[in-house]
């Protein structure tokens, strides 16, 4: 079926008023039709993510229903009397998509547990494990703009689906007829007959108790004068983050009122991403009168955390890598001091995250495991340890994109436990007359001036996707031997699972799963890693270098950024 035929079919079959209006409004716009129907919304390892609207390449009740029918067929193929947990955030149509998902699963004989209000993504991972479910779904597009929504799928271990399971679900989804092949019951009828059930308060309480157990120095918070300004960015972190900070004794927390309530339009933060400065603008304004020690922000599904620290007359934003290094050092040093550090501890990070953590971990005899980008791979490592009865060896996991986890009670990054540990850590160093910035400077002096930088290049639409494909293909087939003035010493191609050492032409096997990632190791402790985003229309570049001082490191990073931009044609 070609694009126009798909469009006409949708015009005939769709009965949703808003979607029907949208389809009618693009009748004479060939490019708009093409963009909505040139492909099906991709179901990858993270599930679905796309722009909300009409068409096969959009997030709507039909694409959500089709994905859920495929997932239901998968669950029923591996177990009898299956069950699933569902959560959702504040995004446009999140509750609608969550209830659609519940209705389809219940119609297929799968018991559904669903939160009655928006909840953070890690609380979905927790519910899957705590309720013994066979799968979990969270409706979110994380920190993307308001036009997006998504559908993330989890396995019985509380981790996002494995590559193998995702492939099987996709195979079953492709067999589903969008308009005639989806079973569905009325959501309210499901609640009445018990096939759909709201998740009870004790699960939420149990989650918060497990988060609290990750506190290392809770007593330090009760006696601290730490002042915090917190913003949930119109998302799901508001209640659980405030609850856990109160539980550990941090009472001086001011919430940014304009960003407190759920709102999927994100009126004050068009890019509700705590990795960037704009969402902090209202917190910065509030800080002029509140004089807080720390500004804290969680993204809409509360799995990422960003911070700004009081510094002189203003505030300094800390990168995801810096916060990860600080937390790893804090967890290892304090647990070591208290005698609670397990024998042969393990920390897990992604390949694009800072290597200062390797030096920090070595100091405490902690093994670092590097995995592909995506927290699901960190979760998989925890599950592997659990299968060997060694889950207590896991002490910390993080990725440079502001995602962190301490403890093994969930299998995804957790903004609630991270918020708690950041504030606790700030109290700890404040008691010594230090800020988190002061502590970071100490780590740089001890381990070296590591600098990490990420640059994203947006490639929208059909042509953008093709451009990303062409760039990765060209770099793979004709890799640069120099990036700026720096010679390439190693090339790692994660798609072919090969690492080539250029000095000897020796080829080594990469044991991680295949992925569209290219890594170039350069002379002088520098590297450049390139990958297309799995969730956004972007190609991402990660630059890492180490130097004697910050100024020199910045110059090296600038040089590498300019050079790789030219090589890629941007």
Q: Which residues are catalytic?
A: 142
- Please state, in angstroms and rounded to a whole number, the distance separating the CA atoms of residues 211 and 217: 13
Pairing of strands 486-493, 482-483: antiparallel
Reduced to 3 states (helix: H, G, I; strand: E, B; else coil), residue 255 is: strand
Reduced to 3 states (helix: H, G, I; strand: E, B; else coil), residue 75 is: helix
Pairing of strands 196-198, 111-114: parallel
**Per DSSP, what are the bridge partners of residue 454?**
542
69, two tokens: 């029918």
Sequence-ordered list of residues with C-beta below 8 angstroms from that of 422, at least 6 positions apart, any chain: 294, 296, 305, 307, 323, 327, 436
- Please state, in angstroms and rounded to a whole number, the distance separating the CA atoms of residues 190 and 116: 14
Sequence-ordered list of residues with C-beta below 8 angstroms from that of 539, at least 6 positions apart, any chain: 456, 457, 459, 468, 471, 472, 530, 531, 532, 533, 568
Could you identify the residue written with the tokens 């918020």?
419
127, two tokens: 């519910």
The 253-255 sheet, strands edge to edge: 253-255, 228-231, 294-298, 305-311, 314-317
186, two tokens: 């009325």
Bin 266: left if φ > 0, else alpha if -120 < ψ < 50, else beta: left
Going through 173-320 in order, the beta strands assigned E by DSSP cover 196-198, 228-231, 253-255, 294-298, 305-311, 314-317
- Please state, in angstroms and rounded to a whole number, the distance separating the CA atoms of residues 335 and 328: 11
330, two tokens: 């804090």
- Please state, in angstroms and rounded to a whole number, the distance separating the CA atoms of residues 219 and 320: 27
Which of 104, 144, 137, 103 lies closest to 123 in space, CA to CA? 137
Q: How far apart are the first and last CA of the chain?
A: 36
Sequence-ordered list of residues with C-beta below 8 angstroms from that of 345, at least 6 positions apart, any chain: 332, 364, 365, 366, 367, 393, 394, 395
């Amino acid at each position: 079926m070609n694009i126009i035929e798909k469009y006409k079919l949708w015009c005939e079959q769709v009965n949703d008023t808003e979607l029907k209006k949208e389809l009618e409004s693009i009748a004479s716009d060939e490019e708009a039709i093409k963009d909505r129907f040139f492909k099906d919304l991709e179901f990858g390892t993270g599930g679905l993510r796309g722009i909300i609207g009409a068409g096969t390449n959009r997030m709507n009740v039909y694409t959500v229903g089709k994905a859920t029918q495929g997932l239901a067929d998968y669950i029923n193929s591996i177990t009898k009397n299956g069950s699933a947990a569902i959560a959702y955030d504040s995004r446009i149509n999140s509750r609608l998509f969550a209830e659609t998902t519940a209705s389809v699963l219940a119609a297929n004989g799968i018991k559904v547990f669903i939160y009655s209000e928006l909840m953070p993504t890690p609380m979905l991972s927790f519910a899957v494990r705590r309720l013994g479910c066979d799968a979990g779904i969270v409706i979110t597009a994380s920190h993307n703009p308001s036009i997006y929504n998504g559908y993330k799928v989890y396995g019985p271990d509380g981790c996002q689906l494995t590559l193998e399971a995702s492939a099987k679900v996709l195979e079953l989804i492709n067999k589903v007829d969008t308009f005639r092949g989806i079973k569905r019951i009325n959501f309210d009828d499901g609640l009445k007959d018990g096939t759909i059930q709201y998740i009870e308060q004790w699960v939420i309480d149990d989650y918060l108790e497990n988060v609290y157990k990750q506190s290392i120095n809770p007593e330090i918070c009760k006696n601290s004068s730490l002042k915090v300004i917190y913003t949930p960015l119109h998302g799901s972190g508001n209640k659980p983050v405030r609850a856990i900070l109160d539980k550990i004794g941090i009472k001086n927390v001011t919430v940014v009122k304009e960003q407190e309530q759920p709102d999927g339009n994100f009126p004050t933060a068009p890019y509700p991403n705590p990795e960037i400065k704009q969402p902090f603008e209202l917190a910065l304004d509030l800080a002029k009168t509140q004089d807080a020690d720390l500004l804290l922000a969680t993204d809409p599904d509360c799995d990422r955390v960003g911070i700004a620290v009081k510094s002189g007359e203003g505030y300094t934003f800390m990168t995801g890598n810096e916060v990860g290094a600080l937390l790893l050092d804090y967890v290892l040093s304090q647990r070591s001091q208290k005698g609670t550090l397990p024998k042969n501890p393990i920390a897990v990070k992604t390949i694009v995250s800072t290597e200062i953590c390797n030096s920090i971990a070595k100091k405490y005899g902690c093994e670092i495991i590097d995995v592909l980008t995506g927290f699901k791979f960190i979760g998989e490592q925890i599950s592997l340890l659990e299968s060997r009865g060694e889950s207590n060896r896991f002490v910390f996991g993080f990725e440079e994109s502001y995602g962190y986890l301490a403890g093994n009670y969930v299998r995804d990054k957790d903004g609630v436990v991270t918020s708690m540990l950041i504030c606790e850590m700030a109290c700890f160093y404040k008691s010594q007359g230090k800020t988190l910035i002061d502590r970071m400077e100490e780590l740089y002096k001890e381990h070296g001036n590591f600098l990490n930088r990420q640059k994203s290049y947006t490639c929208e639409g059909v042509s953008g996707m093709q451009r990303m494909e062409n760039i990765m293909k060209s770099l793979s087939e004709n890799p640069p031997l120099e990036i700026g003035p720096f010679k390439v010493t190693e090339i790692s191609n994660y798609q072919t699972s090969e690492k080539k050492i250029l000095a000897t032409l020796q080829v080594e096997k990469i044991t991680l799963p295949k992925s569209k990632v290219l890594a170039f190791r350069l002379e002088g402790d520098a590297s450049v890693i390139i990958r297309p985003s799995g969730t956004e229309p972007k190609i991402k570049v990660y630059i890492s270098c180490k130097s004697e001082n910050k100024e020199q490191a910045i110059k090296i990073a600038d040089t590498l950024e300019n050079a790789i931009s030219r090589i890629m044609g941007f």
